Chains A and B, each alone.
Chain A
Amino acid sequence: MTEHVKHLRGTSMTVLAWRNLWRNRRRTLLTLSSIAVGVFLAILFTAMQDRNWADMIDLAARLGSGHVTLEDPEYLDAPALSRTVRHAQALRELALADPDVTRATERITGQLMLATARESRGAAFIGFDPTAEDSTTFSFQQAIVEGAPFATAHDRGIMVGARLAANLGVTLGDKVVYTMTDRTGEIVSGLARVSAIVRTGSPGVDAALCLLPIDAVRGVLGYADDEATQVAVFVKDQRESDAVARRLGAEVGPDVAAVPWHETQTGLAAFIGLKVGGARFMEILIAVLVAAGIFNTLFVSVMERMREFGILTAIGWSPSRLFGLVMLESAWLGILGLIGAALVTALPYWYLSTTGIDLSSLLAGNSMDVAGIAMPSTFRVGIYANHLTVIAVAAFVATLVSGLYPAWRAGRVNPIETIRLV
């Protein structure tokens, strides 16, 4: 007997709680399944979004202005070719000195009109240095379907979006005149030969973008050798963009602004904000429903065992000990639920993160654009470690919280009345 009482103290409470769970196996398994399914859904939801947004933000960075853009402070509100940054080379080196920055490139971005003998079309342009950029900074290199990339920054070529080329009626080798306004508002023109056709699948890009070698643009616009409209800065992890922008902003001086991607790509940022808000709401809803299920089970299992609790009180268990016992039961439920969730999630997650589901056949070669940025056409997942932690902790806490009231009821048991119960 003394042995037995001693046995019930300390860690043995956890053993008792464990055994109690398995006295009603079916109920416990059902509760565990609801926790596991809830956590599974939350993880997949979040992992899908984390991966999707990270991919789109990186793509947006490679389409345009990097994760952080160093530009004239007024360029963001009123983009004009007169608003430039000098000493782009020095800015690049400054940015590259930051430990989170991987790449930094000079670019000239703006609007122009392309004209052939018969047709003229408006388009956006990006002037870039072909010797300094590759596919990690500029996504158009891989999108060339005809022709070849520029050889040098002085190249006499122009790369044109496929739809834009069709609208202009030009093919490789054709001459086009590009016209823009320079810093003084004068109309200036340059001549180039179509050296490549690019097709990204994004309708907005393919119909309205052309690419020029940066030094050729500098020549037409009368820019200095180290002048550009922006220095595009790339960071290791897009979540560091704000921190990098802050650090660079403090170093570059008042003539240059360091702008994170969500300010240059407001449309994309708003869409992501909307979707993240919606997902959080759904996750909270799932959490509440799962918690209601756990509460239900725990409560009934406590009410059923009132007689047992009465007897335990009669042999000297304190209310706080009974409370502790039921809380330990819900803690076990939480732990087992998380293990179950890990088992349920592992395989689908592994498949979706490595192989993914190819949706491109549904889209017939086109991309679904958000604010002009293509959504990935393969559905993949990838969750951030901190989000995973939040979900696991939230599920565990929700389980404990749903156990509070039943545990409290167990502690309040009246031994005399309940022992009489049949």
Chain B
Amino acid sequence: MRLLVMAWRNLWRYRRRTVVTVAAMTLALLVMVLYTSLVEGYLRGLERSIVDVELGDAQVTAPGYRDNPSLYVTIADPERLMARLGEAGFRVSARLLGGGLAAAGEASAGVEIDGLDVRDNERVSAIYQYVARGAWLDPADASGVVVGESLAHTLGVGPGDELILLSQAADGSIANDLYTVRGVLKSVGDQTDGAVFMTAAAFRAFFVLPDGVHELIVRKPAEEDLAASVARIRAIATGLDVESWRDLMPLLASLLDSTRALMQVVFLVIYLVVVILLVNATLMAVFERIRELGVLKAIGVGPGMIMGLILLEGGLQAAIAVVVGLVLSVPGLIYLTRHGLDLSGLGGTSFAGIAFDPVWHGVVTPMTIVAPVVTLLFMVGISVLYPALKAARLKPVEAMRHQ
């Protein structure tokens, strides 16, 4: 306890140096906490775009569909399978997929055409919440379609405009029909942004495909592990292909994993500069007080105590930095989680096929606080160790003679 008081008093004997050192640590910690929350927010957003909107947790397809996504490769009897998956605690919705040409006025574009069971789909995908203009699909409106963001731009269409779709039907005839755009989606990702969504009934009529579905989108219970879910789905959907979103988008999955590790590298870089500053300050503090430390040793203070004293001085500075940094980060974190950084001025963009949300929100988890703090304390520990050892090994007689 006495050591603690001494360390505390020592800090304030060199007020300005302590303030500068603590301020630098505080600033670094503050920035790292905000940065971590932004990265976490970005990763969550990415995962949400992939899982909640585009892919679901896992997808069931007929064997070989992934390699050859043909209109004819379908799951023959989806209802029974969907019922069994439902009993096992999964939420499931079927999707029909085809390709074609969309034309409006003088413009045309190659498109992916998605046929959805509108009510079922709402239970597995949040896409209906991503309507930017107009309205989402209505099962009662068979000629109403919803288009992705970039497609709407290419064709120059908005809600209420007419859209012609052209393709080849399953019976070999030319599929050709007129639709009305009900809504335009926000940017989600490359795939969704260039797609046309219609009701399953409209899809079947257009492509002359009376039965079978191409994909089942499966959502797992929130608490279950993805791998465990996939294993259970495989056991139910025997003879069919089952892939998790991680299998379908391996690049994004590894991106999500590696970004968190990469964040630690950024910590180390920023804290490295803090470490140099801290080593310098602590060394100065030790060398300035060589005589004083010599006197302490001469009156019987052991090397362990001296070392503890120097370590405590570093620890106290870090503690102040942590307290002040965290207090200061609160308004920042509240702002980032509530309002976010509005980047819409930059224009929309996408990374690895998934759109950036123009308003970048932060997310606070225990890790957003713990990771920067623990890394800081670790780095402080390392940088104070050498000066502390140096101080502990002073020879009292020489030290007292030191000028």
Q: Do A and B bind each other?
A: yes
A224 to B350, CA, bound (A): 37
List residues of chain A with CB within 8 A of the CB of B103: 181, 185, 187
A115 to B346, CA, bound (A): 38
B209 contacts the other chain (Cβ, under 8 Å)? no
Task: Indicate whether A181 sits within 8 Å of B279 (C-beta atoms), given known contacts A122-B100, A203-B353, A371-B350.
Answer: no
Contact of B28 among A26, A289, A299, A372 (CB under 8 A): A289
List residues of chain A with CB within 8 A of the CB of B251: 363-364, 366, 368
List residues of chain B with CB within 8 A of the CB of A346: none
A166 to B67, CA, bound (A): 7
With both beta carbons as reference points, the residue of chain A lying nearest to B195 in the complex is identified as A122
Task: Indicate whether A79 sits within 8 Å of B346 (C-beta atoms), given known contacts A26-B283, A37-B273, A203-B353.
Answer: no
**How distant is B353 from chain A, measured CB to nearest CB, in Å?**
6
List residues of chain B with CB within 8 A of the CB of A370: 349-352
List residues of chain A with CB within 8 A of the CB of B161: none
The reply to whether A119 and B70 contact each other, CB–CB distance below 8 Å, is yes
The reply to whether A270 and B348 contact each other, CB–CB distance below 8 Å, is yes
Contact of A111 among B28, B108, B168, B276 (CB under 8 A): B108
With both beta carbons as reference points, the residue of chain B lying nearest to A290 in the complex is identified as B273
**How distant is A5 from chain B, measured CB to nearest CB, in Å?**
27
With both beta carbons as reference points, the residue of chain A lying nearest to B70 in the complex is identified as A119
B106 contacts the other chain (Cβ, under 8 Å)? yes
A422 to B280, CA, bound (A): 24
Task: Indicate whether A304 sits within 8 Å of B288 (C-beta atoms), given known contacts A120-B168, A184-B106, A274-B343.
Answer: yes
Q: Which of A89-97, A100-108, A280-288, A310-318 contacts B (4 or more CB under 8 A)?
A: A280-288
A38 to B71, CA, bound (A): 58
A60 to B68, CA, bound (A): 29
A184 to B107, CA, bound (A): 9
List residues of chain A with CB within 8 A of the CB of B72: 118
A293 contacts the other chain (Cβ, under 8 Å)? yes
The reply to whether A34 and B273 contact each other, CB–CB distance below 8 Å, is yes
Pick the most buried of B101, B194, B274: most chain A CB atoms within 10 A of its CB: B101
**How distant is A245 from chain B, measured CB to nearest CB, in Å?**
17
Q: Which of A131-139, A149-157, A261-269, A322-330 contacts B (4 or more CB under 8 A)?
A: A261-269
The reply to whether B106 and A120 contact each other, CB–CB distance below 8 Å, is no
List residues of chain A with CB within 8 A of the CB of B324: none
Pick the most buried of B71, B108, B190, B254: most chain A CB atoms within 10 A of its CB: B108
B284 contacts the other chain (Cβ, under 8 Å)? yes
The reply to whether A79 and B154 contact each other, CB–CB distance below 8 Å, is yes
The reply to whether A293 and B273 contact each other, CB–CB distance below 8 Å, is yes
B320 contacts the other chain (Cβ, under 8 Å)? no
A320 contacts the other chain (Cβ, under 8 Å)? no
**How distant is A152 from chain B, measured CB to nearest CB, in Å?**
26
A175 to B277, CA, bound (A): 69
The reply to whether A288 and B276 contact each other, CB–CB distance below 8 Å, is no
List residues of chain A with CB within 8 A of the CB of B194: 122, 208
Which residues between 1 and 36 of chain B lie within 8 Å of chain A, taking CB atoms? 14, 16-17, 20-21, 23-24, 27-28, 31
The reply to whether B347 and A270 contact each other, CB–CB distance below 8 Å, is yes
Which residues between 181 and 198 of chain B lie within 8 Å of chain A, taking CB atoms? 190, 194
Contact of A292 among B109, B277, B287, B348 (CB under 8 A): B277
The reply to whether B20 and A289 contact each other, CB–CB distance below 8 Å, is no
With both beta carbons as reference points, the residue of chain B lying nearest to A297 in the complex is identified as B280
A33 to B154, CA, bound (A): 54
List residues of chain B with CB within 8 A of the CB of A181: 103, 106-108
A69 to B332, CA, bound (A): 42
List residues of chain B with CB within 8 A of the CB of A332: none
B166 contacts the other chain (Cβ, under 8 Å)? yes
**How distant is A48 from chain B, measured CB to nearest CB, in Å?**
12
B255 contacts the other chain (Cβ, under 8 Å)? yes
A321 contacts the other chain (Cβ, under 8 Å)? no
The reply to whether B70 and A169 contact each other, CB–CB distance below 8 Å, is yes
Q: Mark A79-99, 1 if CB is under 8 A from B, else 0.
A: 111100000000000000000
With both beta carbons as reference points, the residue of chain A lying nearest to B71 in the complex is identified as A119
A270 to B277, CA, bound (A): 36
A179 contacts the other chain (Cβ, under 8 Å)? yes
**How distant is B253 from chain A, measured CB to nearest CB, in Å?**
12
Contact of B349 among A271, A288, A293 (CB under 8 A): A271
A266 to B358, CA, bound (A): 13
Q: Mark B41-77, 1 if CB is under 8 A from A, else 0.
A: 0000000000000000000000000011111100000
A366 to B266, CA, bound (A): 25
Contact of A118 among B31, B70, B105 (CB under 8 A): B70
Pick the most buried of B69, B166, B276, B346: most chain A CB atoms within 10 A of its CB: B276
List residues of chain A with CB within 8 A of the CB of B70: 118-119, 169
The contact size tier of chain B is 35 or more
List residues of chain B with CB within 8 A of the CB of A179: 101, 166
**How distant is A402 from chain B, measured CB to nearest CB, in Å?**
10
List residues of chain B with CB within 8 A of the CB of A119: 70-71, 99, 168
List residues of chain A with CB within 8 A of the CB of B272: 37
A19 contacts the other chain (Cβ, under 8 Å)? no
List residues of chain A with CB within 8 A of the CB of B277: 34, 289-290, 292-293, 296
The reply to whether A120 and B273 contact each other, CB–CB distance below 8 Å, is no
With both beta carbons as reference points, the residue of chain B lying nearest to A267 in the complex is identified as B349
Contact of B20 among A30, A111, A285, A295 (CB under 8 A): A295
Contact of A289 among B112, B274, B347, B353 (CB under 8 A): B274
Which residues between 225 and 270 of chain B lie within 8 Å of chain A, taking CB atoms? 250-251, 254-255, 266, 269-270
A204 to B351, CA, bound (A): 11
List residues of chain B with CB within 8 A of the CB of A80: 105-108, 156
Contact of B167 among A113, A166, A363 (CB under 8 A): A113
Contact of A167 among B17, B31, B69, B254 (CB under 8 A): B69
List residues of chain B with CB within 8 A of the CB of A299: 16-17, 20
A304 to B266, CA, bound (A): 36
Task: Indicate whether A296 sits within 8 Å of B106 (C-beta atoms), given known contacts A113-B101, A370-B349.
Answer: no
List residues of chain A with CB within 8 A of the CB of B309: none
The reply to whether A41 and B269 contact each other, CB–CB distance below 8 Å, is yes
With both beta carbons as reference points, the residue of chain A lying nearest to B72 in the complex is identified as A118
List residues of chain A with CB within 8 A of the CB of B68: 166-167, 169
B110 contacts the other chain (Cβ, under 8 Å)? yes
Task: Indicate whether A285 sits within 8 Å of B280 (C-beta atoms), given known contacts A80-B156, A122-B100.
Answer: no
List residues of chain A with CB within 8 A of the CB of B163: none
7 cross-chain CB contacts under 8 A:
A180-B101, A292-B21, A296-B280, A300-B284, A300-B288, A362-B254, A369-B350
Which 6 A-B residue pairings sit nearest by Cβ, starting from the closest?
A122-B110, A113-B101, A293-B277, A111-B109, A270-B349, A80-B107
Chain B residues close to A by CB (< 8 Å)? 14, 16-17, 20-21, 23-24, 27-28, 31, 67-72, 99-103, 105-112, 154, 156, 166-168, 172, 190, 194, 250-251, 254-255, 266, 269-270, 272-274, 276-277, 279-281, 283-284, 287-288, 343, 346-353, 356
Beyond A119-B168, A293-B276, list 16 extra A-B contacts (CB 8 Å): A27-B284, A34-B276, A80-B107, A115-B168, A118-B70, A119-B71, A122-B101, A167-B69, A266-B349, A274-B343, A288-B27, A290-B277, A296-B280, A300-B14, A369-B190, A369-B351
